[in-house]
Structure 1
Amino acid sequence: MIPEIETTRMILRPFRAEDADEIWPCMTANLARYMRWEPPERAEDFEKIWRKWPMQFAEESNCIFIARKKMDHSFIGLFGIHSFKTPTPRLGLWVREELHRQGFGPEGIVSVMNWARGDYSPDYFIYPVAEENIPSRKLVESLGGKAVTTEQDPKFTLIIYHIPA
């Protein structure tokens, strides 16, 4: 069982079905412009996605953490760690648009990495970033991430970073 992770300003815990109604409206086209996915058009479309998350968590393959402010429990964003029991887990995150540039991304992703380091001892983390997503590239590089290769996604070129564990 993955415990709640507390940071200075946030509580992160695995996604639960009751979180879905609050998350879906924040999945905007602008937010997803650098994501590999397109925002679901309807709540029912999002349900098809999130229904898989608890099963993946139970299988201990992926975990989607929901982040909430400690102060008022309002929704901040999602932090994912995929294949977390492998030597090279993959990271991803998104923070709701009105909370960008407030440091929630680095705070949350570092806490997820620290959890994985403590419980699973990865060799390094993989973090794919759209080439044009300069804020995310700066975040990854601030964590010691080094660009190792690129991949062509249907939407854009991805830079694949390795972050030391």
Structure 2
Amino acid sequence: MESLEKVSLESTRLILQAISLEYTEDVFREFTSEITTFMYPKPADNISETEKVIKGMIQQREKKTDLVLVILKKDTLEFLGICEVGAIETDIPELGIWIKKSVHGNSFGREAIYALKDWVDKNLEYKYLSYPVDKRNIPSRKIAESCGGKVFREFQQTNKSGNLLDEVEYRIYK
């Protein structure tokens, strides 16, 4: 596997590159309570909390356990969100993504996940990819389904904001 520090992916409209502290303000501003409605994490209370989270993501990348990438619009380098593949040291890595509210509906999430899955297919050995998502998050469910994902199990969990998530876990095979 190539060095995770150097991972940079391109698609038709996007560039995905390893997260860095350079994006702290973007993440803090865009990772809102609305964005996290159907997600496990909660938005940061202050920018130093966001910085701490990003430092943790960088440490995970250095340990080769997770790869978190910022999603940038290719023509303007506008920050659009984050996608990731976690648990890369296992045979069941997990995909995740969030896109900032102002650009929802442009299929950026789908394009980013396709680029990330292509990288995963070329660089990781795995049984299948896990893609957990709240049942009510239809756009994210459509991403998993467009990758050939099939619902394997359903479960509930309380997110860090105290809200009950009603989740399905998709399995996506090579």
- What amino acid is aligned across from residue 161 of structure 1 in structure 2? Y
- What amino acid is aligned across from residue 116 of structure 2 in structure 1? V
Counterpart in the other structure of 1:96: 100
User: 2: distance between equivalents of 1:158 and 1:60?
Assistant: 27
SS in 1 for 2:16: strand
User: 2: distance between equivalents of 1:13 and 1:47?
Assistant: 17
Aligned counterpart for 2:75 among listed residues 71, 74, 87: 71
- What amino acid is aligned across from residue 170 of structure 2 in structure 1? Y
Root-mean-square deviation (CA, aligned residues, Å) is 1.1
Structure 1 residue ranges without an equivalent (≥5): none
User: 1: distance between equivalents of 2:97 and 2:9?
Assistant: 15
**How far is 1:143 from its partner?**
1.2
**How far is 1:86 from its partner?**
2.2
User: Is 1:140 aligned to 2:144, yes or no?
Assistant: yes
- What amino acid is aligned across from residue 29 of structure 1 in structure 2? S
Counterpart in the other structure of 1:48: 52
TM-score, normalising length: structure 1 = 0.96
User: Is 1:32 aligned to 2:40, yes or no?
Assistant: no
Aligned counterpart for 1:157 among listed residues 156, 163, 166: 166
Encode CA deviations 1:20-63: one digit per residue, 9 max, x unaligned: 11221001111110111111121112122111111100111001
Encode CA deviations 1:78-118: one digit per residue, 9 max, x unaligned: 00100123221100000000111101001000111110110
User: Is 1:84 aligned to 2:88, yes or no?
Assistant: yes
SS in 2 for 1:156: strand
User: 2: distance between equivalents of 1:17 and 1:46?
Assistant: 9
User: 1: distance between equivalents of 2:152 and 2:46?
Assistant: 37
**How far is 1:121 from its partner?**
2.8
User: 2: distance between equivalents of 1:139 and 1:14?
Assistant: 22
Counterpart in the other structure of 2:133: 129
User: 2: distance between equivalents of 1:31 and 1:51?
Assistant: 21
- What amino acid is aligned across from residue 163 of structure 1 in structure 2? I
- What amino acid is aligned across from residue 154 of structure 2 in structure 1? T
Is the CA contact (8 Å cut-off) linking 2:39 and 2:134 kept in structure 1? Answer: yes
User: Is 1:58 aligned to 2:62, yes or no?
Assistant: yes
Structure 2 residue ranges without an equivalent (≥5): 159-163
Identity within the alignment, %: 27
SS in 1 for 2:36: helix
* Structure 1 stretch displaced more, 100-109 or 116-125: 116-125
SS in 1 for 2:37: helix
